[in-house]
Structure 1
Amino acid sequence: MELKPKLLRITTVPISLNVLLKGQLSYIRSNGFDVVASSAQGPEIIEIIEREGVPHYVIPLTRKITPFQDIWCLWKLILFIRRERFTIVHSHTPKAGLIGMLAAWFCRVPHRLHTVAGMPLMETRGFKRKLLKWVELITYRSATRVYPNSFRLRDFIVREIYASREKLHVIGRGSSNGIDLTYFQVTTEVEKNGIKLLETYGIKKDHLIITFIGRIVADKGINELIEAFEQVNEGTEKKTKLLLVGPYEDDLNPISSKAKTFIEEHPDIISVGFQSDIRPYLYISDIFAFPSYREGFPNVVLQACAMGVPCVASDINGCNEIILNERTGLLIPTKSVAELVAALKRLISDEDFRKRLAEEARSYVRANFDQQYVWKEIIKEYKKHVNV
Structure 2
Amino acid sequence: MKPKFFIITTVSDSLPFFKGQLNVLKKDFTVSLVSSPGVHLEEMGQEYDVSKFPIKMEREISLLKDLKSFFKLLVLFLKEKPKLVHANTPKASLLAIMAAWFSRVPARVYYVHGLRYQSILGKKKILLMLMERMTCWFATEVIAVSNGIKETLISDNITSKNIIIIGNGSINGIDTSYFNPDKVIEIKDDKLKPSDFVFGFVGRLVKDKGLEELILAFQKLSKTSKNIKLLIVGAFEENMTLSKEIIDTLYKNPNILYVGPQKDVRPFFKAMDVFVLPSYREGFGIVLIEAGAMKIPSITTDIAGCNEVIIDNKTGFLIKRKDVKDLFEKMKYVVENKQQIKMMKENARDRVHDRYSQDTVWKNAKETYLKIIKNHV
Q: Which residue of 1 aligns with 2:188?
A: 198
Distance in 1 between the 2:228 and 2:355 partners?
32
The answer to whether the aligner puts 1:27 opposite 2:42 as a matched pair is no
Candidates 166, 170, 175, aligned match of 2:170: 175
Q: Which residue of 2 aligns with 1:207?
A: 196
Candidates 202, 226, 229, aligned match of 2:218: 229
SS of structure 2 residue aligned to 1:243: strand
CA displacement 1:51-98 (0-9 Å, x = unmatched): 222121111012111111111000001001111110000011101111
Q: Which residue of 2 aligns with 1:164?
A: 160
Aligned-pair CA distance for 1:358: 1.7
Distance in 1 between the 2:15 and 2:23 partners?
12
Q: Which residue of 2 aligns with 1:79?
A: 75
Normalised TM-score (structure 1): 0.94
Q: Which residue of 1 aligns with 2:279?
A: 292
The answer to whether the aligner puts 1:121 opposite 2:117 as a matched pair is yes
Contact 1:248 1:254 in 2 (8 A): no
Contact 1:6 1:34 in 2 (8 A): yes
Aligned-pair CA distance for 1:140: 0.3
Q: Which residue of 2 aligns with 1:309?
A: 296
The answer to whether the aligner puts 1:277 opposite 2:264 as a matched pair is yes
Contact 2:310 2:317 in 1 (8 A): yes
Q: Which residue of 2 aligns with 1:372?
A: 359
Change over 3 Å in CA distance of 1:306–1:228 after alignment to 2: same
Q: Which residue of 2 aligns with 1:8?
A: 6
Distance in 2 between the 1:298 and 1:46 partners?
26
Contact 2:24 2:366 in 1 (8 A): no
SS of structure 1 residue aligned to 2:188: helix
Normalised TM-score (structure 2): 0.97
Distance in 1 between the 2:46 and 2:335 partners?
43
Distance in 2 between the 1:349 and 1:21 partners?
40
Aligned-pair CA distance for 1:386: 2.8
Report the AA paired with residue 23 of structure 2. Answer: S
Q: Which residue of 1 aligns with 2:63?
A: 67
Contact 1:136 1:161 in 2 (8 A): no
Candidates 323, 326, 333, aligned match of 2:313: 326
Comparing 48-57 with 4-13, which one deviates more in the overlay?
48-57
Contact 2:115 2:149 in 1 (8 A): no
Distance in 2 between the 1:342 and 1:202 partners?
25
SS of structure 2 residue aligned to 1:161: coil
Please, which runs of 5 or more residues in structure 1 have no aligned partner? none
Distance in 1 between the 2:220 and 2:93 partners?
41
Report the AA paired with residue 175 of structure 2. Answer: D
Report the AA paired with residue 121 of structure 2. Answer: R
Aligned-pair CA distance for 1:21: 2.1
**Percent identity over the alignment?**
36
CA displacement 1:175-229 (0-9 Å, x = unmatched): 11111111110244x21xx2xx323x43111111111000000000011011011
Candidates 47, 58, 64, aligned match of 1:51: 47
Contact 2:198 2:230 in 1 (8 A): yes
Contact 2:142 2:161 in 1 (8 A): no
Q: Which residue of 2 aligns with 1:344?
A: 331
The answer to whether the aligner puts 1:218 opposite 2:210 as a matched pair is no
Contact 2:133 2:159 in 1 (8 A): no
CA displacement 1:20-53 (0-9 Å, x = unmatched): 2221122211x22100011111122232123222
SS of structure 1 residue aligned to 2:77: helix
Distance in 2 between the 1:377 and 1:359 partners?
26
Report the AA paired with residue 245 of structure 1. Answer: V
Comparing 270-279 with 281-290, which one deviates more in the overlay?
270-279
Distance in 2 between the 1:242 and 1:53 partners?
41
Q: Which residue of 1 aligns with 2:229?
A: 241
Aligned-pair CA distance for 1:143: 0.3
**Considering only aligned residues, what root-mean-square deviation do their CA atoms show, in Å?**
1.4
Distance in 2 between the 1:385 and 1:220 partners?
34
Report the AA paired with residue 228 of structure 2. Answer: T
Please, which runs of 5 or more residues in structure 2 have no aligned partner? none
